[in-house]
Amino acid sequence: MTESNYRYLFNYNKAFLQQVLRFKTMTLLKISGFVISKLQLTKIVFSAILYFFMLFSMEHAFASSESKNFNLVELASGIYVHYGKHVSFESPDLDDIANIGFIVGDKCIAIIDTGGSVRIAQQLLSEIRRTSDKPVCYVINTHIHFDHLLGNIVFKDTEAEFVGHQNLADEIAANRSFFIREYGKNLGPQVSEDSIIGPDILVEEKMVLDLGNRKLQLNAYGAAHSHTDLTVFDEKTKTLWLSDLLFKERIPSLDGSLRGWLKSMDSFDRIDAEHIVPGHGPASTKSKDGYASQLQYLQLILEETRRGISQGLFMEDIVEQVGVNEKKKWLLHEQHHKRNVTKAFSELEWE
């Protein structure tokens, strides 16, 4: 039976029950030519109530079906995470690869990244409206990459202020043409440079945002995964939103500094986090276990690339030799691994 069939039955039986209850005090009742007693009426009322309850449960399930399809979960109280998909660059779902979400305070809501398209951002906004009637006061972009910020335009006409790393505004200005050329179809029917929304508030080192009985600590990092990495820590639930400073299942992608990324990871131990949200992959509840695989991978690239350089190997040879046993450990290994080693070589060649 389809959803529309269930909804029809729900509305029909709801109307019938209301009719029956209207005459429940009568000793006899004539319905469709039949005369029934008060005892029979009581049984009908009881059955109708039970049926109504079952159909109400179905309607509630259908109402939440879009949330399930959007893969949105409440990780901790007031912390909502949409998990992105592990797909390649060729996939039509490329705009939905990042973990994004929102945090609800007593006063307002903060969005953490907006996804890689208007389509994803609109779905996120629908989930926010389904969850709360509080206004969106902040849109926090964790870094420059398209899959985390191209949905910003959906929130342009809200009261929200856009927040990002101190380097983010310059990075967006330098990449507007690239975003439009490569991902213009993700930005809706009328695309211009104004479709790429940059930050109003820049975080130089640290900043605290108050959502009403809920404070978020923002930390800006030096070059690591990118040159614009920003983390969000919710004090109330001890949820640390690392975004692309942490990859789970999907192979990490190096676009900033390998040494800087490892240095940033050293600082994570000093944060008393109970929940960790990566930029890609499932959330974790244990800090060290949560990022052990990535730490091992980045250290391996560092050590093996340095060894190859010290042996006088050419970059092409190092790219083919470093991390050859990592392929089975990570999804989309072929898409990023060699590029990661190339980036590492360029950084370490003259250290």
Q: What's the pLDDT tens digit per position in 72-125?
A: 999 999 999 999 999 998 999 999 999 999 999 999 999 999 999 999 999 999
Q: What is the mean pLDDT of residues 164-169?
A: 98
Confidence of residue 269 (pLDDT cuts 50, 70, 90): confident
CATH class label, 66-348: alpha beta
Query: How does DSSP assign 93-146, residue by residue?
Result: TGGG-S-EEEEE-SS-EEEE---SSHHHHHHHHHHHHHH--SPEEEEE--SS-H
Specify the pLDDT at position 25: 43
Q: What is the mean pLDDT of residues 178-194?
A: 94
Within the chain, all domains assigned CATH 3.60.15.10 are found at: 66-348
Mean pLDDT is lowest, of 31-45, 75-89, 114-128, 329-343, for: 31-45
Confidence of residue 7 (pLDDT cuts 50, 70, 90): very low
* Tens of pLDDT, residues 220-238: 999 999 999 999 999 999 9
The larger pLDDT score, comparing residue 32 to residue 260, is at 260
Specify the pLDDT at position 11: 47
Distance in angstroms (rounded) separating the CA atoms of residues 246 and 8: 47
Distance in angstroms (rounded) separating the CA atoms of residues 344 and 216: 33
Q: Which residues contact 189 (CB under 8 A, 6 or more apart)?
A: none
Helix, strand, coil share (%) of the chain residues, nearest 5: 45, 20, 35
pLDDT > 90? residue 218: yes
Q: Decide: 236 and 77 in contact? Cβ < 8 Å.
A: yes
Average pLDDT, the chain: 86
Confidence of residue 270 (pLDDT cuts 50, 70, 90): confident
In terms of Cα–Cα distance, which of 264, 262, 255, 176 is closest to 220? 264
pLDDT > 50? residue 189: yes
Distance in angstroms (rounded) separating the CA atoms of residues 175 and 262: 26
* 189 DSSP assignment: S
Q: What is the mean pLDDT of residues 327-343?
A: 96
Query: How does DSSP assign 221-284, residue by residue?
Result: -SSSSSSS-EEEEETTTTEEEEEEEEESSBPP--SS-HHHHHHHHHHHTTS--SEEEEEES--B
Q: CA angle at residue 281 from 275 to 282, to 5 degrees?
A: 40
Specify the pLDDT at position 56: 42
16's tokens: 């019938």
Q: Are strands 275-280 and 34-36 parallel, antiparallel or unpaired?
A: unpaired
Specify the pLDDT at position 290: 75
pLDDT over 90 percentage in the chain: 74
- Predicted TM-score (pTM) of the model is 0.81
Q: Decide: 160 and 197 in contact? Cβ < 8 Å.
A: no
* Tens of pLDDT, residues 284-296: 886 656 789 999 9
| Backbone angles phi and psi of 56, in degrees to 5 | -65, -40
Confidence of residue 64 (pLDDT cuts 50, 70, 90): very low
- Cα dihedral 317/257/172/174 (nearest 10): -60
Q: What is the mean pLDDT of residues 60-77?
A: 68
| Backbone angles phi and psi of 200, in degrees to 5 | -90, -35
The sheet carrying 161-165 orders its strands as 72-76, 79-82, 100-104, 109-112, 136-140, 161-165, 201-203
* 326 DSSP assignment: G
